[in-house]
Amino acid sequence: MSEPLARSYAGHIIATLKLGLPLVGGHIAQFAITLTDAMMIGWYDITALAGMILGATLFLLIFLVGSGFASAAMPMSAEANAAGAEIGVRRATVSSFWLSIGFAALTLPLMLFSGDLFRTLGQEPGNADLAQVYLRIAAWGMFPALIVMVLRTYLSAMETTQVIFWTTLLMAFVNAGLNWVLIFGNLGAPELGVEGAAIASVITHSISIPFLVVYASRKFRSHRIISGLREFDVPTSRRVFSLGLPIGLTSLAEMGMFSVGTLMMGLVGTLSLSAHAIAQLISATTFMIHLGVSQAATVRVGKALGNNDAEGMRDGAIAAMIIAYIWVGLTVFVLVVYPDPLISLFVDAAEPARDQVIAVATMFLLVAAAFQFADASQLMGLSLLRGLQDTRIPMILAVISYWVVGVPASYFLAFKVELGGTGIWWGQVAALSVAALLLQARFWWVMLPLQAKVSNVATIDPDTTAAASPRAAELGPTQGFGIASSQGG
């Protein structure tokens, strides 16, 4: 059984930072891998970059959906661990492993034969062929990539995150080295270009698995995760699937909105598209902080649920939001006061259109500053709801926000009101603002009645957490406090 949660906001904030900062570092290191791939292929052959980006985008879209199963196991494992139900931890993790493997196998043909798909979507034949070349190798990396995701979420649920940071940082260096060797043909290796980048990606994902497996097996021997792979608990797997698929589809919906925004930006003009790409990269970097803290919040709320700690659920959520909003304030200050130095990192001094690109990207970053609060709020709402294992209704709310509000608003403001690229960004502000309102309202709507229910359970049996947490004790998180049934999630 895990340690009880802190009893003060300061304690909650410190515990959340201790858990979340290594996750932040891990996300930044993972983001660096993506940037390194794009930069090195760009150095090798700028015309090959478009094809690789096409293939990598499809890979990422599929990965986001598949990673939902690992994300679903995280709050389930955190709750079971808090209640002392080790078999519940094992069953949730093993279920997410096999569901992830099955998902990778089902989506493999889509990537192996993706050339026709890209051509059907109107991509240039040369780019479609390069994307196909890239994916026929990179597709096999979906298996290790999702396995790594399962291991990372398991360790996060156990509140052991430093190893995630160091492993991901190692992956970033290994990936850069392999790219240098295989893309350019250094150290006597053949010059493979895009194929080299794909091979490096598969190897990078694969070599991190044994590090994480050995560490997890030694630190948490009693969980018997590896030997437990022979077990397949159907009720737990159903629960992981029912929670995980909405998580994956929510991520897909959000990324889809931003991808459509990029396509619309291409209609505005090449210069606007370049400025848009720079502003998105800067915004994505600041987003990594929120992502790490929000995942820590998922674990902390799940742990409080397993401990039947009603006060811990509420105070832990508030503490996580305090951290997020402090970062929002710092981010807004930097984006508003220092946009030029940030943008200049991405624009060559000799670029003829440098001043124009900086001017347009600065305008986009000012809009990005406007949506920082909403973006942090909607992500925190989603993550806290995942901690309560409520994912289906949040998925619907997210799809409404991103696609019923965001995409039409971006198109209307950009092309009907004729705000151009800025209109696309303001449309995304509208989407994130609606999502923030709906998801925060959903969290408190679910949490407050649940808090009362947990308080009643704890009052009846205050000294026996495992007995008072029937979902964790029954090992399949299928009944519990009835979030899925009574709240519709």
Q: What is the pLDDT of residues 122-154, one digit of tens each?
A: 777 888 888 899 999 999 999 999 999 999 999
Q: Are 77 and 96 in contact (CB under 8 A)?
A: no
The string of pLDDT tens digits covering residues 202-217 is 999 899 899 999 999 9
- Identify the pLDDT of residue 46: 66
Collect all residues with Cβ–Cβ distance below 8 Å to 126 and sequence separation of at least 6.
Answer: 47, 51
Burial of residue 436 (number of CB atoms within 10 Å: 0-12, 13-18, 19+): buried
Q: pLDDT averaged over the chain? A: 85
Q: What percentage of residues in the chain have a pLDDT greater than 90?
A: 43
Tell me the one-letter amino acid at 370. A
Residues listed for the chain: 489
What are the extents of the domains in the chain?
A: 9-479
Q: In 3D, which of 330, 335, 333 has the Cα closest to residue 363?
A: 335
Q: Each residue of 57-77: pLDDT tens digit?
A: 889 889 989 999 999 998 899
Predicted confidence at residue 456, as pLDDT, reads 63
Q: Which amino acid is at 72?
A: A
Please report the sign of the dihedral spanned by the C-alpha atoms of residue 171, residue 174, residue 180, residue 182.
negative
How high is the pLDDT of residue 487?
A: 38
Strongest mean pLDDT among 28-42, 266-280, 435-449: 435-449
Q: What is the pLDDT of residues 361-386, one digit of tens each?
A: 899 999 999 989 999 999 999 999 99
By the 10 Å C-beta count (0-12 exposed, 13-18 middle, 19+ buried), 478 is classed as middle
Confidence band of 10 (pLDDT split at 50, 70, 90): confident
Whether residue 474 is predicted with pLDDT greater than 50 in this model: the reply is no
Mean pLDDT of 109-120: 88
The pLDDT of residue 377 is 94
CA distance 137 to 116: 17
Sign of CA dihedral 413, 419, 421, 422: negative
Predicted confidence band of residue 5 (pLDDT cuts 50, 70, 90): low
d(CA 18, CA 23): 9
Q: What is the pLDDT of residues 255-266, one digit of tens each?
A: 889 888 888 887
Q: Is the pLDDT of residue 389 over 90?
A: no
pLDDT, residue 489, reads 41
Contact status, residue 60 vs residue 142, Cβ threshold 8 Å: no
- Predicted local distance difference test score (pLDDT) of residue 92: 92
Q: How far apart are CA 423 and CA 402, in angstroms?
A: 15
Question: Nearest 5°: phi and psi at 4?
Answer: -65, 160
Question: What pLDDT sits at residue 480?
Answer: 39
pLDDT of residue 16: 85
Worst-scoring range by mean pLDDT, 123-127, 167-171, 375-379, 481-485? 481-485
Q: Which two tokens stand for residue 126?
A: 């040369």
What pLDDT sits at residue 467? 41
Provide φ and ψ at 160, rounded to 5°: -120, 90
Mean pLDDT of 381-407: 93
Q: Is the pTM of this model over 0.85?
A: no
Over 90: is that where the pLDDT of 13 sits?
no
What is the rounded average pLDDT of the residues 420-438?
Answer: 95
Res 479 pLDDT > 70: no
* CB 144, CB 202: distance < 8 Å: yes
What gap in Å lies between CA 241 and CA 69, rounded to an integer? 6
Residue 449 has pLDDT above 60, yes or no: yes
Residues 223, 157: Cα–Cα separation, whole Å: 13
The pLDDT of residue 225 is above 80: yes
Question: Which residues, including other chains, have CB under 8 Å from residue 169's CB and lie 6 or more apart?
Answer: 25, 26, 29
The pLDDT of residue 473: 43
Cβ neighbors of 431 (< 8 A, separation 6 or more) are: 257, 401, 402, 405, 406, 407, 409, 410
Q: Which pLDDT score is estimated for 222?
A: 84
Q: What is the pLDDT of residues 330-362, one digit of tens each?
A: 999 999 998 888 888 777 677 777 888 889 989
* Secondary structure of residue 20 in the 3-state scheme: helix
Give the angle subtended at the CA of 226 by the CAs of 223 and 230, to the nearest 5°.
105
Tell me what pLDDT residue 484 has.
36
Q: What is the pLDDT, as a whole number, of residue 394? A: 94
Q: Return the closest-CA partner of residue 359 out of 275, 280, 274, 267.
A: 275
* Cβ neighbours of 486 (radius 10 Å): 12
